[in-house]
Amino acid sequence: MFLSLPVTLLSLLSALLPPTYAQQCRLVRQDLVPSPDNPFPTSAPGSGNVTTGSGSGSGTGTGNSSSTNGTATLQPFKYGQQPVRGVNIGGWLVLQPWITPSFFNATNNTDVVDEYTLGQLVDRDTALQMLQNHWETWITEQDFKDIAAAGLNHVRIPIGYWSVPITPADTNYTTSVDPYIPGAWPYLLKALNWAKSAGLHVVLDLHGAPGSQNGFDNSGQRTSTPVWGANPANVSRTLDIVTFMVKEVGGLVDVIELLNEPAGFQGGGWPAAIRGYWQDGYDAVRKAVGSGIRVMIEDAFLGINQWEGFLTAPDAQGVIMDTHQYQVFNTDQLGYSPDEHINFTCTLKSGYSAYVDDNIWMVMGEWTTAVTDCATWLNGRGVGARWDGSMDVGQTFGSCAGYTGDQGGWSDSYKTFLRRYWEAQVAVAEAASGWIYWCWKTESADDWSYQKGLEGGWIPQDPSDRLYPDICG
């Protein structure tokens, strides 16, 4: 049962979606550490000492933000004038089985496939201890220093709604997050300060919404029946959560991303719900903290051409479109040769640059150098890969050996291809407003790891270096 549902969902997605759809991805005081009794030790909103944020100030003259006084702020990032170059802090404040399989193994329960089932099936004190250990260790300040040293200028930090310490006092309704286990928020606050110290700009990304906006494990809940877009109450709750987030930390981030990967492909009322949510979310952020902070929306798997003229000036200011680019989740694209992957990527360039010319800034906010879905549990814990037939989609492509895991087992020609593919995608994204790679770090899937790419040389130490400067013409 728990295996067949997601497989059905994924097969359905493969059949229905266009080939570019994606998967799926204040200063904290030292005494404010979470505990089972007090998972949100930040106390009341606005308490504690706040330091100024990175670059969400006056920007290109659009106003200030809620940041308070403190040490020097970063210069506002000039979106559209310099390319966003960043990495996603994946698998940290929102767990994903394929990024940290050891965490899931350590539950001793194969039915724990996401944070929702973690909260349901593991003793809550034990689960919170496991999570706290993970939050403390998976990403540290050194990672932020290493990201900056790699010449990058942005981090995108995913967080789930269940980690946002909104209380009934902030709303007029109950705010239970059961069965989720909250407690990640103080780690986000630490990270925002690490980012500032390292000179990194921040996209704060709401990655999981009440009811699940896509049914992917990375929304918090792996399910074939996500309900967010079908329930106005879930959507309005999300607006309240985003409002709370920007009031709390809007001064510490450059961009608030209203929601990751809402499932426009669900059809029905979903596309309209998403459109309404982007508009209402934009208005809510502007009302709460003014115009200093940028607002990021997504194409919602509908293609950027569905968003012509949406949230553009003069009705809206400071909006960034996010589009995700993966070529590993459907059989058409898994069947591409290496050169076909490059070619397909290059075909995106003219559409991207036309979109930013006519509309708003656009960032390729998730993408990868991986060309197979072989990474263990990429399609969900216990789910196999299309590539080698361990997920049966009626077609196989070969053995997974040599494509994922540790790069020590990879051929030179594969690594050479990865470098070309990296450069092609960067060229295309920089024809728009830039890119954010998914993701910085993985436990055992080097084909997805920016950190491992730097070590292995298929990602350059300086992201402006090019071995193939004309790869997309």
Ligand X SMILES: *[C@@H]1O[C@H](CO)[C@@H](O)[C@H](O)[C@H]1NC(C)=O
Q: Which one of residues 34, 91, 211, 365 is an interface residue with ligand X (CB under 6 A)?
A: 211
Residue whose CB is less far from ligand X, 80 or 290 = 290
416 binds ligand X (CB under 6 A): no
Q: Which one of residues 132, 213, 214, 234 is an interface residue with ligand X (CB under 6 A)?
A: 234
70 vs 62: CA distance, rounded Å? 21
> Which tokens belong to 84?
């966003």
Residue whose CB is less far from ligand X, 128 or 328 = 128
Q: Which one of residues 2, 11, 17, 29 is an interface residue with ligand X (CB under 6 A)?
A: 29
349 binds ligand X (CB under 6 A): no
* Per-residue exposure over 414-445, b if at least 16 CB sit within 10 Å of its own CB, e if not: beebbbbbbbbbbbbbbbbbbbbbbbbbbebb
132 binds ligand X (CB under 6 A): no
30 binds ligand X (CB under 6 A): no
Residue whose CB is less far from ligand X, 9 or 28 = 28
- Min. distance of Cβ 346 from ligand X in angstroms? 7
207 vs 276: CA distance, rounded Å? 18
49 binds ligand X (CB under 6 A): yes
147 vs 451: CA distance, rounded Å? 8
Name the H helices within 122-199: 124-137, 141-149, 185-198
69 binds ligand X (CB under 6 A): yes
- Min. distance of Cβ 231 from ligand X in angstroms? 4
Q: Which one of residues 11, 120, 197, 231 is an interface residue with ligand X (CB under 6 A)?
A: 231
Query: Which residues does the annotation mark as catalytic?
Result: 261, 366
- Min. distance of Cβ 131 from ligand X in angstroms? 11
- Min. distance of Cβ 152 from ligand X in angstroms? 27
Quick check: helix, strand or coil at residue 364?
A: strand
Closest CA to 98 of 417, 463, 443: 443
Q: Which one of residues 337, 350, 399, 464 is an interface residue with ligand X (CB under 6 A)?
A: 337
| Residue 380 and residue 217 in contact, taking contact as beta carbons nearer than 8 Å | yes
| Residue 471 and residue 346 in contact, taking contact as beta carbons nearer than 8 Å | yes
The number of residues making up the chain comes to: 473
290 binds ligand X (CB under 6 A): yes
> Which tokens belong to 210?
């009440």
- Min. distance of Cβ 291 from ligand X in angstroms? 6
Strand partners, 201: 154
Q: Which one of residues 308, 340, 358, 406 is an interface residue with ligand X (CB under 6 A)?
A: 340
Residue whose CB is less far from ligand X, 50 or 356 = 50
Closest CA to 66 of 52, 84, 87: 52
| Residue 54 and residue 201 in contact, taking contact as beta carbons nearer than 8 Å | yes
- x/- mask, ligand X, residues 92-131, rule CB under 6 A, reads ---------xx--xxxx-------------x---x-----
- Min. distance of Cβ 164 from ligand X in angstroms? 13
Residue whose CB is less far from ligand X, 15 or 233 = 233
Q: Single out the segment in contact with ligand X by CB under 6 A; choices: 232-240, 249-257, 325-333, 365-373.
A: 232-240
36 binds ligand X (CB under 6 A): no
Residue whose CB is less far from ligand X, 56 or 323 = 56
3 vs 382: CA distance, rounded Å? 7
Strand partners, 235: none
Residue whose CB is less far from ligand X, 53 or 463 = 53
131 vs 110: CA distance, rounded Å? 17
Closest CA to 117 of 322, 382, 340: 382
Which residue pairs from 356-360 have beta carbons closer than 8 angstroms and sit at least 24 positions apart in sequence?
356/80, 356/432, 356/433, 358/308, 359/307, 359/308, 359/309, 359/310, 359/312, 359/321, 360/311, 360/312, 360/316, 360/319, 360/320, 360/321
Closest CA to 43 of 56, 55, 29, 54: 29
Residue whose CB is less far from ligand X, 105 or 224 = 105
Residue whose CB is less far from ligand X, 299 or 447 = 447
Total interface residues for ligand X by CB under 6 A: 28
- Min. distance of Cβ 376 from ligand X in angstroms? 7
62 vs 151: CA distance, rounded Å? 27
- Tell me which residue has its CB nearest to ligand X: 290
343 binds ligand X (CB under 6 A): yes
233 binds ligand X (CB under 6 A): yes
48 binds ligand X (CB under 6 A): yes
- Min. distance of Cβ 42 from ligand X in angstroms? 10
- Min. distance of Cβ 365 from ligand X in angstroms? 25
Binding site for ligand X (CB under 6 A): 29, 48-49, 63-64, 69, 101-102, 105-108, 122, 126, 172-173, 210-211, 231, 233-234, 237, 290-291, 337, 339-340, 343
